[in-house]
Structure 1
C-alpha cells in the first residue's frame, strides 16, 4: 500500500464513489477503479483537501484534472473489455489513464504540453501505473500504433479528427466531447465498417479545448 494513501484518503474515496452512484454511475467496474486510484496524488499539494470533491481543478499549463463524475461517465461510455487497446488523447494529470489501467486495458496516452508530459511520465510509474507515453499532437493520434479498440478524448474538440476515426478498429468506440469552447456534447462514435460510422450523444459537459500541435 502507498504510505501517501492513508485510510482517511480511502474513506474519502469511498464517499466519492457513493456520490457517483447517486449521480447515476452504475458500472461497478468503473466505480471500483475510481475507488482504487489515489486522486490526491495527482494534484498540487495546495488542492489536496479538494481531491475527493466531485470537481475539476487546475493542474498547471492551463489544464485541469477532470471531475471524477466526468472521468467515470466517459469510462462507462467506452464499454471496455479486458486487454482492450485504448488510445487516450490528452494525458493531462494522468488520472484518467490510471482509471483506465485499473480497468485492465492497455493504455497509449498522448500529451501535447511538454511540461505535463514530463511530469506524468515520472508520476504514473511511481504509483504503479505503466501506460505507453507519447508526446505529440492529439488530433493526429498514433497511426503507427493503431488501430485501437477504444479512443477517449479528454478535451473539448470543435470537430471529430479524421485521423482518430481511421485509427478505430471496426466495432471500436470513440468517446469525444464535441463543441465550442464554452460547452461540449459528449459524443460516442462507433465504427460500423471501413466507411460507416454511427454517432450518439450523451448530454453536455465543459472541457478545456483540444489544441493542435505540440507545446514546449
Structure 2
C-alpha cells in the first residue's frame, strides 16, 4: 500500500466531502500519522471509511467523524482541552497540535497504555493520559476551554457542562441508534449553555454514562 496516497485519498474523498474545509485541520490530518495509532493487525484499515477495532471491543471513530468533530470544536493554541475516551490516542494527538494542553481520560488500562505508548512514539509531550472514568469529567483540573467526548452518550451530563469556562465548547454524539446527532454546547458569558445540532451520525457508546430508563409494558 502506498501510505501517502492512501492518506491523500482519505482526506480528499472521505473527509473534505463531509464539509471539513478548515485548511488547518486538513493539513493536520496529513501530518499526524493515523496508521501509527491503529493496532498492527488492523493497519490496512487505517485510511478506510470505517471504525477501526481496538482491544476490548472498542473502536477508533471513522476518519470523517473524527475530522468533523475536530473542526467544529475550534480549539485554539492557548486553550486547555479535556477528552473523554482516549482509545488509541489519535484524537488526543490531533488535539495536541491545536491546544496548549490536553488531558484525556480512559478507563480501560489496556487502552490507556496503548495511547501512552503511541503518543510517546509520536513525540507528543502536551498530552496527559489518565486512567479514569470520564463520566464526571475532571473538575479538579478544570474548567476547560474545550471538551471532546470521543464516542456517543445518551445525553451529556450537567457535571461535564459545568466544567466549561465562559466561551468554552463541548462536542459529543448524543442519542440512541439509529438516530444520533453530533452536538456542540457553548457556555455563554451569562453562564447559560447554548446547544447546536451539527450533523447526524452513529458511534459506539462511551463507558460509564447513564442510559435513559426504558419502560416495559
What is the TM-score normalised by the length of structure 1?
0.90
Determine whether 1:121 maps to 2:116: yes
1:182 offset after TM fit, Å?
Answer: 4.3
CA–CA distance in structure 1, aligned partners of residues 33 and 27 of structure 2: 12
Q: Select the residue among 64, 69, 73 that pairs with 1:74.
A: 69
CA–CA distance in structure 1, aligned partners of residues 160 and 99 of structure 2: 22
Give SS of 1:82's match: coil
Determine whether 1:146 maps to 2:142: yes
Runs (4+) off by over 6 Å: none
Give SS of 1:55's match: coil
Alignment partner, residue 207 of structure 1: 203
Alignment partner, residue 11 of structure 1: 5
Q: In the TM superposition, what are the counterparts of 1:49-64 in structure 2 within 5 Å?
A: 49-64=44-59
CA contact (8 A) 2:151 2:173 kept: yes
TM-superposition CA deviations, 1:115-169 (whole Å, max 9, x none):
1012211221111123011111111111111010010101111111111111100
Unaligned 5+ runs, structure 1:
1-5
Determine whether 1:166 maps to 2:156: no
1:98 offset after TM fit, Å?
Answer: 1.0
CA–CA distance in structure 1, aligned partners of residues 3 and 144 of structure 2: 34
CA–CA distance in structure 2, aligned partners of residues 137 and 63 of structure 1: 15
TM-superposition CA deviations, 1:52-90 (whole Å, max 9, x none):
122211111111011110111101111111121111110
TM-superposition CA deviations, 1:11-43 (whole Å, max 9, x none):
321221112223321001111111111111111
CA–CA distance in structure 2, aligned partners of residues 100 and 33 of structure 1: 10
CA 1:181 to 1:212, structure 2 compared with 1: closer, same or farther past 3 Å? Answer: farther
Alignment partner, residue 106 of structure 2: 111
CA contact (8 A) 1:183 1:207 kept: no
CA contact (8 A) 2:18 2:68 kept: no
Q: Select the residue among 131, 134, 144 that pairs with 2:130.
A: 134
Give SS of 1:178's match: strand
Number of corresponding residues: 207
CA–CA distance in structure 2, aligned partners of residues 154 and 118 of structure 1: 17
CA–CA distance in structure 2, aligned partners of residues 105 and 181 of structure 1: 35
Alignment partner, residue 33 of structure 1: 28
Give SS of 1:140's match: coil
1:183 offset after TM fit, Å?
Answer: 3.8
CA–CA distance in structure 1, aligned partners of residues 65 and 98 of structure 2: 16
Determine whether 1:101 maps to 2:96: yes
